A = this chain, B = another copy of it.
Amino acid sequence: MVVELVCVGTEILLGNIVNTNAAYLSEKCANLGLSLYYQTVVGDNEERMTTAIATAIDRSDIVILCGGLGPTKDDMTKEITARVMGRELVEDPHTRERIQAFMDNYIKSQPEGKITANNWKQALIPQGASVLDNHNGTAPGLIIESGGKTAILLPGPPNELKPMFEEAVYPYLRKKQPEIIYSEMVKICGIGESKAETDISDLIAAQTNPTIATYAKTAEVHIRVTAKASSEKEAKQLIKPVVRELKLRFGKNIYTTDENKTLEEAVVELLRAQHLRLTTVESCTGGALSARIVNVPGASDVLKQGFVTYSNSAKKKFIMVKKSTLKTYGAVSSKCAKEMAKGGNFTTGSDVAVSVTGIAGPDGGTPEKPVGTVFIACCLKGETKVREFHFNGNRSKIREQSVVNALILLRDCILENFKK
Contact = CB atoms under 8 A, between A and B. Distances in A.
Interface of A: 10-20, 22-30, 36-43, 45, 48, 52, 70-74, 102, 105-106, 108-110, 113-114, 116, 118-119, 135-137, 157, 159, 163, 192-195, 197-198, 204, 213-216, 280, 282, 284-291, 293-295, 297-300, 303-311, 313-314, 317-318, 348, 361-363, 372, 387-397, 399-400
A4 to B, nearest CB: 10
B311 A308 contact: no
10 closest A-B pairs by beta carbon, nearest first, are A286-B294, A15-B27, A306-B308, A287-B287, A15-B26, A287-B290, A39-B41, A288-B291, A287-B291, A109-B389
Contact of A287 (B280, B387, B396): B280
Given A15-B30, A22-B19, A309 B318 contact: no
Given A14-B36, A19-B22, A318-B318, 4 more contacts: A18-B18, A74-B213, A109-B387, A137-B393
Give the copy number.
2
Most buried by B among A70, A116, A348: A116
B24 A15 contact: yes
Contacts of A297: 361-363, 395
Nearest to A43: B37
Nearest to A388: B109
Contact of A26 (B14, B52, B389): B14
Given A13-B26, A19-B22, A305-B311, A105 B390 contact: yes
Nearest to A194: B116
B305 A109 contact: no
